[in-house]
Structure 1
Amino acid sequence: MLPKNSAKLALSAILALGGLVSASAQEKELKVGAIYMDAQGFYAGVRKGIQTGASEAGRKLNIIETNAQGDVSKESSFIDSLISAGVQAIIVSPVSADGSYRSIRRAHDAGIPVICYNTCLNDKDMAEYVSAYAVGDPFQFGHKLGDAAGDYFIAAKMTEPKIAVLNCEFVEVCVTRRKGFEEALMAKVPGAKIVANQEGATLDKAVSVASTMLSSNPELDAFFGEAGGATLGAARAVKSQGRTGKTVVFGGDMTTEIAQELADNTVIKAVVDISGQGLGKLALTQAINAIDGKKPADIRVPYDIDLYASADAGKQWLTAHSDGVP
């Protein structure tokens, strides 16, 4: 047995060694891959959030970034490149709940933790291949907007409004957004009716589809845009078709142009949003935690959803995001 003083010295040495090992781990550069589904709007915000989070993390971080452009095959190729590059974690908003799982499984099988944000795989594959999912609840996303739409129609004394949906339902979160929207709206305005629902996620397509919807449904009272491109496209179509004051828009995802339209308040009446920058920071935090072997209490790590439902709210968003990045 060691004398008491010797035992204390030995314990001190062990603690000191542990401190050196911990400090060494903190100094080691971490290599993280980040894949964005687009380069604009929400995803530009996510990119800035990841970059800001990296500068504030107190760790040496090398972020390898790329843009999948909504293409599953490009996403798969990028994930393979990141695996070859030896990244220690991958942050991704999968293009397809079912189509993206093979490449994400390859990363998982290579021992690389995968962090989803905004979109992810189906529940079974997510549980098996994903370490964490940073997300604003898509049902609540739609529900908050449905509540706002219901309030608008009640104030306008419209008991049977006709609504068209411009969707992004090639990803599951958008299906869930619509379900939340419909539940909240119908609870407040039981006579409301969804008269059309077509894909229009990108701006150009949304303008075209919304214009056709207005021609086919001259009594259309409102649009629900499930994502940013759909929201702005619907607003532009309403204006170009001379429907300002007759057809309004409720939508998702803040951008400078959408905030300007909300501030004008003649067409867009309410917008729900998940901060791209905030979600990017949260996803990076989860990536670092995964590298360090820390698991979240629940695979879904929630982020707040904001509702902007007035002209003043639009103006306040523009002031807070003077650089235009959501």
Structure 2
Amino acid sequence: MKGKRLLIAALAVGVPLLASGASAQDKGLMSIIVNDTSNPYWFTEGKIAEETAEKLGYEADVSSHKGDTNTESRQIDTAITNQAEAIILDPANADGSIGAVRKAVEAGIPVFIINAEINQQGLAEAQLVSNNAQGAALGAQQWIKSVGDSARYVELKGAPSDNNAATRSNGYETVLSQYPGLEKVASDVANWDRTQGFNKTQSMLQANPDIDGVISGNDEMALGAISALKEAGKLDDVVVGGFDGSPDAVEAVKAGEMDYTVLQPVAIFSEMAVRMADKYVTTGETGVDGEKQLFDCFLITSDNVDDYTDPFVLEQ
């Protein structure tokens, strides 16, 4: 079933799949730069891209910038020095990464953006990202089903440097604002991090001990919130929703601790980006119309959590 979904996704963006058993030539280096491989989402992103590049005949180099644009710039310099055929990049900053991308392009290396966008069109050959607005709406609708249309809640937000944070928060607001009985009593930035999610939730709980729900911009922050709620003895009374579809979040859904998570199809768009880069290196064309390519998200709840078998893949 996973293969079927991957085939459909490939056909949708016009990228050919390597035939099973096909021999691959040594095609040079593909540089893969992600955010933080200690986070399971970004680890999977890098791993899938690496495996795909190697299957297609490239040497793959994976590095992580951890959200630091200076580190990212040095990694781009290394890719240029090593004469990479293409760069797969999850950018550190929507604005701050533009210079690094431009530097690679001016050196003649095509860049394919994944997961997080940069705020300039026409530099990268393609930007492959989750449909975060669609995913946020899915999550918010599920959250309302569980918490009800009258509740006090808090929100955990991702890094402001990442457009995904604002897109998800705005997507939540679009849905939740339709229910006058819902009151957001606090919100804070926890930068996609579990420890910060724990600490920020602790602080919000001290000021608002009677909340009914937590809605989070990603799973790591949501898992931190769950730990804080457990410590306060309040988890049974609070609905927590996440976003990413990480293995730990799925286990939390199975355990009844997290109400849902929104699965980002990172395994699909990471592979597609590498295949698109290979097509471009080989033919000079990406095979798609338009720079930005959106991939719809999926909802994981207790009803379908058993269908989740591989990292960031939900069988359909």
The verdict on a shared fold, with TM-score over 0.5 as the criterion, is yes
Match of 1:254 in 2: 245
2:296 partner amino acid: D
Match of 1:198 in 2: 188
Match of 1:42 in 2: 41
Match of 1:303 in 2: 295
Match of 1:264 in 2: 255
Offset, 1:255? 2.2
1:177 partner amino acid: R
CA contact (8 A) 2:263 2:312 kept: no
Match for 1:140 among 134, 137, 141? 134
TM-score (norm 1): 0.82
Match of 1:184 in 2: 175
Match of 2:275 in 1: 285
Match of 1:222 in 2: 213
Match of 2:68 in 1: 71
CA contact (8 A) 1:32 1:64 kept: yes
CA contact (8 A) 2:134 2:296 kept: no
Match of 1:110 in 2: 107
Match of 1:168 in 2: 158
Question: Over residues 182-217 of structure 1, what are the superposed CA-to-partner deviations in whole Å (9 max), with x where a residue is unaligned?
Answer: 212333x33212222211121111111111111111
Pairing 1:208–2:199 present: yes
CA contact (8 A) 2:31 2:84 kept: yes
Offset, 1:136? 1.1
Secondary structure at the aligned position of 1:94 is classed as: coil
How many aligned positions are there? Answer: 285
Question: Over residues 96-115 of structure 1, what are the superposed CA-to-partner deviations in whole Å (9 max), with x where a residue is unaligned?
Answer: 11111111110111111111
Match of 2:10 in 1: none
Whole-angstrom distance in 1 between the partners of 2:159 and 2:136? 13
Match for 2:124 among 127, 130, 149? 130
TM-score (norm 2): 0.85
Match of 2:229 in 1: 238
Question: Over residues 126-146 of structure 1, what are the superposed CA-to-partner deviations in whole Å (9 max), with x where a residue is unaligned?
Answer: x12111011111111211101
2:35 partner amino acid: M
Secondary structure at the aligned position of 2:245 is classed as: coil
1:182 partner amino acid: E
Whole-angstrom distance in 2 between the partners of 1:45 and 1:304? 18
Question: Over residues 2-58 of structure 1, what are the superposed CA-to-partner deviations in whole Å (9 max), with x where a residue is unaligned?
Answer: xxxxxxxxxxxxxxxxxxxxxxxx7451321100101131111112211332354xx
Whole-angstrom distance in 1 between the partners of 2:136 and 2:224? 18
Structure with a larger share of its residues in helix: 1
State the structure with more CA Rg: 1
* Distance change in 2, residues 1:60/1:302 (3 Å): same
Question: Over residues 252-311 of structure 1, what are the superposed CA-to-partner deviations in whole Å (9 max), with x where a residue is unaligned?
Answer: 11222211110111x31111011332221022122212323113201112223110122x
Secondary structure at the aligned position of 2:175 is classed as: helix
Runs of 4+ in 1 over 6 A off after TM superposition: none
1:161 partner amino acid: A
Match of 1:294 in 2: 285
Whole-angstrom distance in 1 between the partners of 2:220 and 2:196? 9
Point out the more displaced range, 78-87 or 197-206.
197-206
Point out the more displaced range, 65-74 or 273-282.
273-282
Secondary structure at the aligned position of 1:121 is classed as: coil
* Distance change in 2, residues 1:325/1:134 (3 Å): closer
1:75 partner amino acid: E
Match for 1:152 among 134, 146, 150? 146
1:106 partner amino acid: K
Question: Over residues 193-246 of structure 1, what are the superposed CA-to-partner deviations in whole Å (9 max), with x where a residue is unaligned?
Answer: 222221112111111111111111112111111012111111111111110221
Secondary structure at the aligned position of 2:209 is classed as: coil
Unaligned runs of 5+ in 2: 1-23
Point out the more displaced range, 190-199 or 104-113.
190-199
CA contact (8 A) 2:143 2:239 kept: no
Secondary structure at the aligned position of 2:201 is classed as: helix
Whole-angstrom distance in 2 between the partners of 1:128 and 1:278? 23
Whole-angstrom distance in 1 between the partners of 2:53 and 2:84? 15
CA contact (8 A) 1:41 1:325 kept: no
Match of 2:13 in 1: none
The CA RMSD measured in Å over matched residues stands at: 1.8
